[in-house]
Amino acid sequence: MKKYWFSFFILILLLSCNSKGVVVDGDCLILQDKAFIIWPGNSNQPSEGDIIFYAEFEGPGYSNPHFNPDNPDEFIYNTYSEIRKHVLSTGDDIMICTQTQVGGVAYEASWGKAGLIVFIAGPYKIYTVEPDGSNLTLRSATGTHGNVFWDYTGTKIVYTNAIDDPHTYIIDTVGNLLYTVPNGLWLDYLDWSLNSNTILYKYNLKLWQTDSLFTNPIQIMAPPPYCMDATWINDQEIMWTNGNNIYKGNIQTQQFSLFKEGCNGRYYQSITVSTDKQKIIFASSRLRFEEPNRLISWQELYIMNIDGTNEQLIPLPQ
């Protein structure tokens, strides 16, 4: 769910500027003074003189891709109602779990080194499932959970309890509590390096790294001034987004650079790196203008080489 709300938040943030109309520049949109966007379910009211645009969502809402850590030919991803697995070489695409099986939308799926997939579903509970959809198991019965992720061995689950008890915890695959992160830290968008005990995470919109017990947090002084999600390439290199652009850098040399630039109408998030470090997949929220005053939002998944070449749209089921 957070990926959908995140895309919604970014689109409002970047497009709710004052405007007198819209200029279409390729797949980018330029909204000028007094533009007011009404999104589905948004109760905000325009001011006198605002030019109103009515926005709507289109398509299944592809998001949150995650490579199989043992096979760079496979990845999982979310739609608004399902978790699915896709095979790049064959195009095979299978359903792993639907919202009807777990009492609500399934999202934030993470594929562990040991084979299991962990995700949040229904009323913010933790589930695990096999890649073929078997052995769907509830791992938490109480609490309001989010930001779930595997450790680098695929035997420990990190998650946050978002509302009633705002902490970050580590549990085993059965659901037994192993560790409570000190100082009541509520962490977001975690990624555990597959080769070490180093954790990458977001806290207060800043990018941080820490050891496996969260006892030595170090802020990564990388542009831009805020971060929305991040992932490891290897033990030194990382990629992250601010919800608009993709950045790449080395935390040891402190060399950071813009990797892929977005715009109003084309936003990037949710990067995953293949286990052979050759490919990345990322989600892209898109926006187009339709006369006289409609904005259509949809989400796609793209794959490209780790050096930024050969970008391709991944064809997925409609």
19 in a domain, yes or no? yes
Are 30 and 121 found together in one domain? no
Judge if 175 and 156 occupy the same domain. Answer: yes
And the tokens for 32?
């000028």
Phi, psi of 225 (to 5 degrees): -70, -5
160: in domain: yes
Is residue 215 situated within a structural domain? yes
My answer on whether 38 and 162 are in the same domain is no
Query: What is the spatial distance between Cα 172 and Cα 168, in angstroms, rounded to a whole number?
Result: 14
**pLDDT score recorded for residue 12:** 46
307 and 203 in a common domain: yes
**Residue 318 within a domain:** no
Has residue 119 been placed in a domain?
A: yes
Whether residue 291 is contained in a domain is answered as: no
Burial of 293 (0-12, 13-18, 19+ CB in 10 A): middle
Q: Which helix (H) or strand (E) holds 106?
A: strand 106-111
Q: Which ranges of the chain have pLDDT less than 50?
A: 1-2, 4-6, 8-19
End-to-end alpha carbon distance in the chain: 20
Neighbouring residues of 90: CB distance < 8 A, sequence distance ≥ 6: none
Asked whether residue 134 is domain-assigned, the answer is yes
Q: What is the DSSP letter of 182?
A: G
**Which residues constitute the domain of residue 26?**
5-56
Same-domain status, 192 and 167: yes
- The owner of tokens 């509302």 is 163
202/115 same-domain check: yes
Q: What's the pLDDT at 202? A: 80
Residue at which a domain ends, from 56, 81, 96: 56
Q: Do 93 and 175 have their domain in common? A: yes
| pLDDT recorded at residue 194 | 66
Asked if the peptide bond before residue 292 counts as cis, ω within 30 degrees of 0, the response is yes
- pTM for the complete prediction? 0.86
Hey, which bits of 212-261 come out as E strands? Answer: 218-219, 229-232, 237-241, 246-250, 255-260
DSSP H helices in 97-242: 99-102
Rounded Cα gap, residues 205 and 18, in angstroms: 25
Q: Are strands 51-57 and 294-305 parallel, antiparallel or unpaired?
A: parallel
- Same domain? 35 vs 144: no
Closest CA relative to residue 266, chosen from 295, 249, 286, 296: 286
What's the pLDDT score for residue 56?
Answer: 92
Diameter over CA atoms, the chain: 58
Residues 84 and 227 in one domain: yes
Which amino acid is located at 111 in the chain?
W
The answer to whether residues 61 and 301 touch, using CB atoms and an 8 Å cutoff, is no
- The pair of three-digit structure tokens given for residue 96, joined into one six-digit string: 């792993």
292, part of any domain = no
Same domain? For 65 and 52 the reply is no
pLDDT digits (tens, 9 = 90+) for 20-60: 578 888 888 887 778 888 888 877 888 888 888 899 999 99
CATH number, domain of 99, equals: 2.120.10.30
* pLDDT recorded at residue 8: 47
* 49, 103: one domain: no
Last residue of a domain, one of 30, 56, 82: 56
The domain total for the chain is: 2
- Does residue 163 share a domain with residue 99? yes
- Tell me what pLDDT residue 10 has: 45
